[in-house]
Amino acid sequence: MAAAVSAAGGLGMVGVGSTGSVELLEREVAEAGTGGRRFGIGLPDWAISRHPELVDAALQSSPMLLAVSFGDDWKWTERVRRAGIVTVTQVATVDEAERAAGAGVDVLVARGAEGRGHGTPAVGTLPLLDGVLDRVSVPVLAAGGITTARGLAAVLAAGASGAWIGTAFAACTESLVPAEVRRALIGASVDPVPPCSPTPTRRMPDRESAP
Ligand SMILES: Cc1cc2nc3c(=O)[nH]c(=O)nc-3n(C[C@H](O)[C@H](O)[C@H](O)COP(=O)(O)O)c2cc1C
């Protein structure tokens, strides 16, 4: 997936989730970087707390950038910058953005609530991007719910230096998600899904006979 994104002109990111290991990271970056292709690495903060050796492995693979996200400790930053690698972190609030920029992170990703998942994103992507751009002077990418060229154009017009996209790529053939998940993503609409009615496990007494 990361190799395909880079081949198409983006910067493909290699991630390792909670089950990440140095072996997995090495295998993935070897594939992403085939033929000298550029790639980045995105690690969750809890993964490097549990396996600090992931940072060493990441540095050795010479990514274009290293992102560590979903924590508030940016001690890793100095070492990574010294190795000549661009440092990135995803932030969910303006305060967090200021702290990350103050700690020397080179590029911030303003990750709005549309991104869901990790962390506690509570503010929508566009208002968060606006607030972060007002308070920091480093380049800011926008993330969360960007799935189309129009979405990309919107965040660029709002002042982002680029977009950081996840879910949309899960619908690509290179993604490892099962075919039915890919079909559901492609068929998804912006209309709200009606709530499912719970399947009754036993017959409820009707109103007249209830005590
Ligand atoms: C399938 C999937 C896996 C992800 N894995 C990682 C990861 O390993 N490391 C990371 O920093 N972010 C990871 N993310 C989060 C993205 O970096 C990003 O915050 C998010 O995808 C942006 O919102 P979007 O999915 O609406 O585009 C992942 C996202 C998805 C959808």
- SS3 call for 43: strand
Ligand 1 centroid vs 126 CA: distance in angstroms?
A: 18
Q: Are strands 140-143 and 162-164 parallel, antiparallel or unpaired?
A: parallel
Mutate to test the pocket of ligand 1, among 13, 118, 174 (most ligand atoms within 8 A of CB): 118
The confidence score (pLDDT) of residue 20 equals 77
Those residues with Cβ within 8 angstroms of residue 198's Cβ, 6 or more apart along the chain or in another chain:
none
**Ligand 1 center to 166 CA (angstroms):** 5
Mean of the pLDDT values across residues 169-194? 90
Binning pLDDT at 50, 70 and 90, where does residue 199 land?
A: low
Q: Which helix (H) or strand (E) holds 59?
A: helix 53-60
Task: Give the mean model confidence (pLDDT) for residues 192-199.
Answer: 68
| Residue 167 Cα to ligand 1 middle (Å) | 7
How many residues are there in the chain?
A: 211
In tens, the pLDDT along 116-142 reads 988 777 999 999 999 999 999 999 999
Q: Measured between alpha carbons, how far is 37 from 12 in angstroms, rounded to an integer?
A: 9
- Evaluate if pTM is beyond 0.85: yes
Which range is least confidently modeled, 36-40, 69-73, 108-112, 122-126?
69-73
Residues 153-164, mean pLDDT to the nearest whole number: 98
Q: Please give the domain boundaries of the chain with CATH numbers for all domains.
A: 2-182 (3.20.20.70)
For residue 15, the ligand 1 atom closest to its alpha carbon is: 8
Percentage with pLDDT > 90 across the chain: 77
Site to probe by mutation for ligand 1, drawn from 29, 69, 114 as the one with most ligand atoms within 8 Å of Cβ, is 69
51, 54, 91 from 19: Cα distances, Å: 10, 12, 22
pLDDT-derived band at 161 (thresholds 50, 70, 90) equals very high
**Angle subtended by helix axes 125-135 and 149-157, to nearest 10:** 30
Query: For residue 110, what are its two tokens?
Result: 């303003």
- Helix (H) / strand (E) element for 127: namely helix 125-135
Please report the pLDDT score of residue 130 as a whole number. Answer: 98
Give SS3 for 131: helix
Asked whether the predicted pLDDT for residue 8 surpasses 50, the reply is yes
- Average pLDDT over the chain, rounded to an integer: 90
**Ligand 1: residues whose CB is within 6 Å?**
15-17, 42, 44, 67, 69, 90, 111, 114-115, 117, 143-146, 164-168, 170
- Whole-number pLDDT of residue 207: 44
